Structure 1
Amino acid sequence: MRILHFSDTHLGFNDLEVVNDSGINQREADFYDAFSQVIDAIVAEKPDYVIHTGDLFHRPHPSNRAISFCLTQLKRLSVACIPTIIIAGNHSTPRTRSASPILAALRTLDHIHPVFEEAYEKVAFDDITFHCIPHINDEEGNLAAIEECEASVDENKRNIMMLHCSVGAQFMMEEYGERVYPRAKEPLFEKMDYVALGHWHGFGSVGKHPNVYYAGSTERTSSADARNDKGYALITLGESLDVTFHPITLRPSHRLRIDAQASADIFEELRSLATSLDVEGALLSITLENLSATQSIDIANRDIEGCFPEALNVQIQRKFRRSEASAATESVNAASLQEYFGAFLEEQTATAEEAARLNTKVAALFARYDEVTRDA
């Protein structure tokens, strides 16, 4: 028996102020392309079942375009008669019960089984049972769903558990309303042939549980997971469990770090990276570390971006030396003139006491400036 597991497709996600030739936000289009690649793989692989473990959409009220695209792609699985089970994640679950869940629209498609009612639901077939626990906003309701699942294990069939949560603190995404699976209930995993997880955006097994896996997301929602491959997992249930990861093709994404204190020429180093990496259409995150205030003033974002003219986007962060007043990581665009001036004074003065005295005067001058401009 073969099962294809994918998750966290976040359809409708958009970012950056870049549109493609069709007038669609380029990053939104990237998420659609990633989803299409997985659907293409499903149609080609023809697995016995397909499971999606949450966050089909990026928002509980996605755009018409996102809904239309999703229905069109899932209809391909419906026409192919491939049973597909989809549970709701925290991104696609309304925060109030008065709002209509978007996954209800999927009930119009044959062979597509959406689970979104904030309760345990069993989707049973002749040879296998899928134990589905979608995202549940209420903590007590979530625990009740797990306990109902415990009582519903069928020893005469294969059992697959589907969850959208973190299993352990290391898999938390620090998002509103996310659920952490209770440690006391982890023995339930041993009764399952496979536990399919969504929420964490990287593929992999979970600690001591050899049958518990995150499929990961199909696209990158931030520069933090630039190094993670994205795709789907193919599960084979035979005498033993076999899980293989199949990557899909995404635009290049790189996280670059330059030590400004150690670099003889920052721009020469950046240009060297531009020639050694695949940067055409890429998403770049560049961190300049150990900067002094005067260095930072001399380095314009547009000059850094100019080293990578073929990239789709260049995100720049600056980390100042610990001895300076700023002592924090922040985008240069977000730093105030007063903070930069304070860092400059600390660099140029002989003692910390002198820097503090001058900074007090600077603070008074900026306060006076704010007062004058406010009254003008």
Structure 2
Amino acid sequence: MRILHFSDTQLGFNDLDITDETGINQREADFYDAFTQVIDAILETKPDYVIHTGDLFHRPHPSNRAISFCLTQLKRLSVAQIPTIIIAGNHSTPRTRSASPILAALRTLDHIYPVFEERYEKVVFDDITFHCIPHINDEAANFAAIEECEASVDEDKRNIMMLHCSVGAQFMMEEYGERVYPREKEDLFEKMDYVALGHWHGFGSVGKHPNVYYAGSSERTSSADARNDKGYALITLGESLEVTFHPITLRPSHRLRIDAGESADIFDTLRSRGASLDVEGALLSVTIENLSATQSIDIANRDIEGCFPTALNVQVQRKFRRSEASAATESVNAASLQEYFGAFLEEQSSTPEEFTRLNSKVSTLFARYDEVNNDA
């Protein structure tokens, strides 16, 4: 039995003030292209089942274009009669029950099984049961859903658990309503043939659990994600579990770091580094470190961008010498103070876990600041 697992497609995401030849935001179009590539792969691979573990859309109220695109692509799976189970993530779940969940529209398609009603549901077939826990805003209700799932394991069939949350770590991404799976309930994973996760955007297994995997996102939502391949996971359930990752093709994305103290000419260094990379239509993140204030004055943002004339976008951050740290709030894209500070933390943190923990606290502080100012 083969199952194709993908997640966090974030349809409707847009970024940068750049449009394509049809007038659509270029990054929004990139996300549509990534989704289409996965649907193409499904139709070519012809798995027995397809699962999507949340954040199908970027927002709970996506644009008409995002909805129309999604329905058109999923209709291809419906026509091919490939059973497809989709759970809601925190991005596509309304914050109040009075709002209509967008995933309800998917019920109009045959062989597409959306799960979005903030409770445990199972989707049952002759040979397999999918135990679905979509995003649930209420923490107590989320825990109750896990307990209901625990009592519903079918010992006579294959069992697949689908979740959209953080597993194996007590830190989060500081997004509305997100969940950390309770450690005391991780024994439930052992009763499953496979546990499919959404929320974190990188593919990989989770800790000590050999059958628990994130599929990762289908596109990059930030420059911090530049090094990660995107695609889908193909799961084979035989005598043993086999999980393989299959990347799709995205526009190039690179991160460059230049030490101003070691470069005689920063622009020559940038051009030299760029010559070894595929920068045609690329997303570039350039960090210039160890700058003095006087050096910074002589380095125009436009000149930095000019080193990569064929790139789609060049995002630049300046990191000043410690003695001049008070000047280190400048960004080529006029990034917010929170974004700048987050980038600083990422550079200074010794591990990804330390960065996530510290950034979580910073995000909380900025949220409180915004709340106070909005109420003022």
TM-score interval, smaller chain: 0.7 to 0.9
The corresponding residue for 1:285 is: 285
Distance 2:170 2:148 in 1: 26
- 1:172 alignment partner AA: M
Distance 1:243 1:3 in 2: 10
1:293-308 residue pairs with structure 2 within 5 A?
293-308=293-308
Distance 2:70 2:264 in 1: 50
- 1:92 alignment partner AA: S
The corresponding residue for 2:275 is: 275
Q: In structure 2, do the counterparts of structure 1 residues 21 and 233 end up closer, same or farther at CA, with 3 Å as the change threshold? A: same
Deviations 1:231-271 (A, max 9, x none): 00000000000000000000000011001111111100001
1:183-202 residue pairs with structure 2 within 5 A?
183-202=183-202
Paired residue secondary structure (1:294): helix
Distance 2:99 2:20 in 1: 33
Deviations 1:93-148 (A, max 9, x none): 00000000000000000000000000000000000000000000000000000000
The yes-or-no answer on 1:136 pairing with 2:136 is: yes
The corresponding residue for 2:179 is: 179
The corresponding residue for 1:67 is: 67
Distance 1:328 1:169 in 2: 32
Q: Which has the larger radius of gyration?
A: 1
Distance 2:16 2:108 in 1: 34
The corresponding residue for 2:212 is: 212
Paired residue secondary structure (2:57): coil
1:238-257 residue pairs with structure 2 within 5 A?
238-257=238-257
8 Å Cα contact 2:254/2:283 also seen in 1: yes
Please state how far the C-alpha of 1:274 moved relative to its aligned partner.
1.9
Deviations 1:186-229 (A, max 9, x none): 00000000000000000000010000000000000000110000
The corresponding residue for 2:79 is: 79
The corresponding residue for 2:48 is: 48
The corresponding residue for 2:7 is: 7
8 Å Cα contact 1:321/1:327 also seen in 2: no
The yes-or-no answer on 1:109 pairing with 2:116 is: no
68-77 vs 166-175, which moves further:
166-175
Q: In structure 2, do the counterparts of structure 1 residues 201 and 176 end up closer, same or farther at CA, with 3 Å as the change threshold? A: same
Q: In structure 2, do the counterparts of structure 1 residues 189 and 278 end up closer, same or farther at CA, with 3 Å as the change threshold? A: same
Distance 1:180 1:269 in 2: 43
Distance 2:325 2:78 in 1: 60
- 2:260 alignment partner AA: A
The corresponding residue for 2:260 is: 260
Paired residue secondary structure (1:219): coil
- 1:279 alignment partner AA: V
- 1:285 alignment partner AA: S
The corresponding residue for 1:364 is: none
Runs of at least 4 residues off by over 4 Å: 327-330, 332-336
The corresponding residue for 2:57 is: 57
The corresponding residue for 2:89 is: 89
8 Å Cα contact 2:5/2:50 also seen in 1: yes
Q: In structure 2, do the counterparts of structure 1 residues 39 and 131 end up closer, same or farther at CA, with 3 Å as the change threshold? A: same
Paired residue secondary structure (1:279): coil
Q: In structure 2, do the counterparts of structure 1 residues 206 and 171 end up closer, same or farther at CA, with 3 Å as the change threshold? A: farther
8 Å Cα contact 2:293/2:327 also seen in 1: no
Paired residue secondary structure (1:221): coil
Deviations 1:7-66 (A, max 9, x none): 000000000011011110000000000000000000000000000000000000000000
8 Å Cα contact 1:172/1:200 also seen in 2: no
The corresponding residue for 1:235 is: 235
Unpaired runs of 5+ in structure 1? 337-376
Deviations 1:323-353 (A, max 9, x none): 11416464156499xxxxxxxxxxxxxxxxx
Paired residue secondary structure (1:281): coil
Please state how far the C-alpha of 1:169 moved relative to its aligned partner.
2.8
Q: In structure 2, do the counterparts of structure 1 residues 86 and 8 end up closer, same or farther at CA, with 3 Å as the change threshold? A: same
Deviations 1:288-335 (A, max 9, x none): 101100111110110000000000000000111111141646415649
Please state how far the C-alpha of 1:173 moved relative to its aligned partner.
2.2
| TM-score between the two structures when normalised by the length of structure 1 | 0.88
| TM-score between the two structures when normalised by the length of structure 2 | 0.88
Equivalenced residue count is 336
- Over the aligned positions, Cα root-mean-square deviation in angstroms equals 1.4
